[in-house]
Amino acid sequence: EVQVVETGGGLIQPGGSLRLSCAASGFTVSNSYMIWVRQAPGKGLEWVSFIYGNGNTYYADSVKGRFTISRDNSRNTLYLQMNSLRAEDTAVYYCARWYLNRGADYWGQGTLVIVSS
């Protein structure tokens, strides 16, 4: 069964750092496309970052230079390192598998990040 589970969210002060994890099962992260999407409270979905199977990475302008997507193939886990956090980064962060040309077909339950002093 394909599954992704995010962890690592929490309350963090502005300017702080946090690393989110996304543990995958039922498929291999190393040869999959993976995506991070966030949703601020009461707001819509916002694409954050993407990593191709070949390791190429892409970021939304709102997080470029502050967030880094990566993966640990041995742990079959995706990460999102978030630095210089701002209040506007407060959101539920979802990771999802992006299957071929078919969209994000498996989503985690999300992990809440609150940036506040």
- Please give the residue ranges that form the binding site for another protein (CB under 8 A): 35, 37, 44-47, 50, 58, 60-61, 94, 101-105, 107-110
Which CB sits closer to another protein, 60 or 114? Answer: 60
9 within 8 A of 18, measured Cβ to Cβ = yes
Which CB sits closer to another protein, 5 or 114? Answer: 5
Provide long-range contacts, Cβ within 8 A and 24+ apart, for 25-31: 25/1, 25/76, 26/1, 26/2, 27/2, 27/97, 28/73, 28/76, 29/71, 29/73, 29/76, 29/77, 29/78, 30/71, 30/73, 30/76
Q: At its nearest, how many Å lie between another protein and the CB of residue 72?
A: 23
Q: At its nearest, how many Å lie between another protein and the CB of residue 14?
A: 24
Q: At its nearest, how many Å lie between another protein and the CB of residue 117?
A: 28
Q: At its nearest, how many Å lie between another protein and the CB of residue 105?
A: 5
Which CB sits closer to another protein, 82 or 108? Answer: 108
Which CB sits closer to another protein, 79 or 93? Answer: 93
Which strand ranges, in their side-by-side order, compose the sheet holding 77-82? 3-7, 18-25, 77-82, 67-72
